[in-house]
Amino acid sequence: MQAGIQRLTGPGRWWRLGVVVLAFAGLAYGSTIGTDYHFPFGPLSQYAGRIDSTGGEVVSTYVTAEVEIPALQVTEPGGPAPVAEVEVQLKQTKVGLGRADIEGHVGDIVKDPSMLQALARAQRKLEPNAIPFKKLFLKQDTQLLENGKAIGPMSTKVLATWVVR
């Protein structure tokens, strides 16, 4: 035996073996008769695979912004700057909110589009060198499915619009 290394005692081995047996018992229980609410021992079946269906739809909610593009060459001095619509990166580090935060409040934002102002305020604070938003759009894309495959064109609906102040 090397100096400074101690062997595990009998009670130490039994204690560790008991923890391993309990962990495996919890996993076996959760995987066979448990539900997703038994996390971390549940089966997490919501991630287990696809749902067989004859049809359905996939809805994707997102936010876009109208921004001014810095002109390299202005043909009309004093004229309006060109604009573009870009997708807003819904991340805590970019606009203070994640995509799930927006998806959880779609109904509220549709009723009160001024809630989108918070994204513009956060963007100016978190990314002061970024091109500021002029107008924000809450949108949803819907793709119809048949037998698990996309059919027809994707449709886009603007749910709310807000002019940034």
pLDDT surpassing 80 at residue 54: no
How many domains does the chain contain in total?
2
In a domain, 66, yes or no: yes
User: Is 43 inside any structural domain?
Assistant: yes
Tokens for 130?
A: 């970024």
Same-domain pairing of 40 and 85 = no
Distances in whole angstroms, Cα of residue 62 to Cα of each of 6, 137, 159: 58, 8, 10
User: Helix/strand/coil (H, E, C) string of 74-134?
Assistant: CCCCCCCCCEEEEECCCCHHHHCCCHHHHHCCHHHHHHCHHHHHHHHHHHHHHCCCCCCEE
Starting from the edge strand earliest in sequence, which strands make up the sheet with 55-68, in order?
83-87, 55-68, 133-146, 149-163
Is residue 78 scored above 80 in pLDDT? no
pLDDT computed for residue 101 by the predictor: 86
Residues 82 and 154 in one domain: yes
Greatest mean pLDDT among 28-37, 100-109, 132-141: 132-141
| CA 130 to chain CA mean position, Å | 22
Residues 100, 61: Cα–Cα separation, whole Å:
9
> Is residue 1 in some structural domain?
no
Domain extent at residue 71: 55-163
Query: Distance between CA 25 and CA 2 in Å, rounded?
Result: 36
Distance CA 118, CA 139 (A): 17
Query: Which tokens hold the place of 138?
Result: 């809450």
Instruction: Indicate the pTM of the whole model.
Output: 0.64
Q: Which helix (H) or strand (E) holds 151?
A: strand 149-163
